[in-house]
């Protein structure tokens, strides 16, 4: 329980860091701490529905504190968690370099998914591809760099979570 609370606390802390980043850094160089968090949720502890719900909740928090259409970030962050879980089964992502490359690549995928979702569901809020491609590279790179130390933090938490009894689906995954 303590480890789960620590995980939740880490999520809140990263959300606040994200908010702090918006006050200090320009949009082109702003790391997405919430994205890193939900990717790590998908990577390790992310087997369970609890982690999935937490990823959606983090996305919803971003929706609440931004001008995005309600549910956009919840959808994107939940999907990030699920896709990472799927990719994690095929590729080894738990070392620093593969993890950083994956986070960088996912930053691109996330921007493309966001743009496509807007085109389909909220066409009036559509963002031009040029703007998307201009914003992603530097911000994605910084996000990838910062994702590496956060991976080790969450790996420690994972060990604690597993010691206390993991979330439901994680236990089923362990059997598989």
Partner 1 sequence: MSDLLRRLSYPLTYLTLVGLCVIGMTTHRGPVELGLAHRILLSITLPLERIVTFPVREARRLWRDYTGLVDVREHNEVLRQRVTDLELENLQYKEAIVSSERFQRLASFRAKREIPMVPANVVAQDLSPWFQAVIIDQGSSAGIGPGMPVITDSGVVGVVAGTTPGASKVLLVIDPQSRVDVYVQRTRARGTLRGRTDLDCEFLNVLREDDVREGDLVLTSGLAAMYPKGLVVGRVSRVERKPYGLFQRAEVEPAVDFSKLEEVFVILERRELPADDAFFSESAELWPEARE
Residues contributing to the site for partner 1 (CB under 8 A): 12, 15-20, 22-24, 27-28, 30, 34, 47-49, 52-53, 56, 60-62, 64-75, 78-79, 82, 114, 117, 121-122, 124-128, 131-132, 135, 139, 168-169, 172
Whole-number minimum distance, CB 145 to partner 1, in Å?
Answer: 17
Taking the complex as a whole, how short is the minimal distance between the CB of residue 149 and partner 1, in angstroms?
20
Cβ pair 160, 51 in contact under 8 A = no
Which residue, 40 or 79, has its beta carbon nearer to partner 1? 79
- Nearest distance in Å: CB 51, partner 1: 10
User: How far does Cα 106 stand from its chain's mean position?
Assistant: 9
The full DSSP string for 77-102 is HHHHHHHHHHHHHHS---SHHHHHHH
Task: For the chain, report the end-to-end CA distance as a whole number of angstroms.
Answer: 24
- In the bound state with partner 1, the residue whose beta carbon lies nearer, of 67 and 163, is 67
Distance CA 154, CA 39 (A): 11
């Amino acid at each position: 329980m303590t480890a789960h609370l620590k995980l939740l606390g880490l999520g809140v802390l990263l959300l606040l860091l994200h908010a702090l980043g918006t006050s200090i850094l320009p949009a082109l160089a702003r790391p997405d701490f919430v994205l890193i968090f939900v990717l790590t949720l998908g990577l390790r502890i992310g087997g369970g529905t609890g982690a999935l719900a937490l990823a959606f909740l983090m996305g919803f928090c971003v929706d609440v504190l931004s001008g995005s259409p309600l549910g956009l970030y919840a959808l994107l962050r939940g999907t990030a968690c699920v896709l990472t879980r799927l990719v994690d089964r095929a590729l080894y992502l738990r070392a620093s370099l593969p993890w950083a490359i994956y986070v960088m690549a996912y930053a691109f995928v996330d921007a493309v998914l966001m743009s496509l979702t807007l085109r389909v569901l909220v066409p009036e809020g559509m963002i031009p591809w040029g703007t998307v491609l201009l914003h992603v590279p530097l911000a994605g790179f910084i996000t990838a760099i910062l994702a590496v130390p956060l991976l080790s933090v969450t790996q420690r938490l994972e060990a604690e979570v597993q010691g206390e009894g993991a979330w439901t689906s994680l236990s089923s995954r362990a059997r598989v």
